[in-house]
Amino acid sequence: MREKNISDWSNNSAVIAGCVVDTPIYEFSIGDKSYYHMTISARRLSGTEDLVPCYIEDSKVAYISKFDYVEVTGYIRTKHIMDSVGKNHTKVYIEVHEVNPYTTCDKNRIDFIAHKFADVEIRATPRGYRVCDTRVINNLPNRIGNLIPILLWSNNAELFARIPLNSIVGITGRFQSREYNKFYEDGTEEKKTAYEISVSRFKVLEERKESKEDGH
């Protein structure tokens, strides 16, 4: 099979199929278009569900209700929001462009091209797995870059850590929701949810050659 090159890889595409677990609600308007928020539950083969936040235009949401099964296609997007205490967070979601009939199974696939702009460190989970989590930049036409959080496991984590900075990488994975406990200095804890792309495979499409001036 021919290796993919940069022209073959989707710059940014998402396919999510599953059950709508909440009633779509109005969020904001841009010009004459209104956007609604809804969440789709996409189950993995293991039975674990990933909760995928979606934004969808009013013209496409009119016939969608809670507990409907749908398939949506669109882009993965991110935006910065400020919480009630003034702290910045990155919101990760799917910008829906098409709604299609649900077929026979849940789907959860994300493909995009990104720049690696930061060094990453490998860490061990409490169960001893090697992982790395970082952010990469994906640029949509005529828009500022998406700062997309990704998570890589085992050999993928080791290989990604070795990629030179500013290289262009094609990434395939799934939209993952992951619960965790956040501990505060006053001894309290809070259950939160992280949204990220769990990477199943990647390919370096353009590798930046390190120079001697870079110290490598």
Query: Which residues, in sequence order, are CB contacts of 139 under 8 Å at separation 6+?
Result: 11, 115, 145, 146
Domain 111-208 in the same topology as domain 12-107: yes
pLDDT at 143: 66
Q: What is the pLDDT of residue 10?
A: 79
Higher pLDDT, 79 or 168: 168
pLDDT at 215 over 70: no
Q: Domain 12-107 adopts which CATH fold?
A: OB fold (Dihydrolipoamide Acetyltransferase, E2P) (2.40.50)
pLDDT at 216: 47
Q: How far apart are CA 14 and CA 143, in angstroms?
A: 18
Q: Give the pLDDT score at 98.
A: 95
The pLDDT tens digits for 110-166 are: 999 999 999 998 998 888 889 999 999 998 776 678 899 999 999 999 999 999 999
Q: What is the pTM of this model?
A: 0.86
Query: What would the pLDDT profile of 82-118 be if each residue is shown by its tens digit?
Result: 766 777 778 899 999 999 889 889 999 999 999 999 9
Domain boundaries, the chain: 12-107, 111-208
What distance separates the 2 farthest-apart alpha carbons in the chain? 59
Query: Quick one: DSSP state of residue 159?
Result: H
Q: Measured between alpha carbons, how far is 138 from 67 in angstroms, rounded to an integer?
A: 32
**Res 64: pLDDT:** 93
Tens-digit pLDDT profile for residues 179-200: 888 888 888 888 888 899 999 9
Is the pLDDT reported for residue 2 higher than 50? no
Please name which of 116, 78, 76, 80 lies closest in space to residue 96, comparing C-alpha atoms. 76
CATH 2.40.50.140 fits 111-208, yes or no: yes
Please list, in sequence order, all residues whose beta carbon lies within 8 angstroms of the beta carbon of residue 182, skipping any fewer than 6 positions away.
189, 190, 191, 192
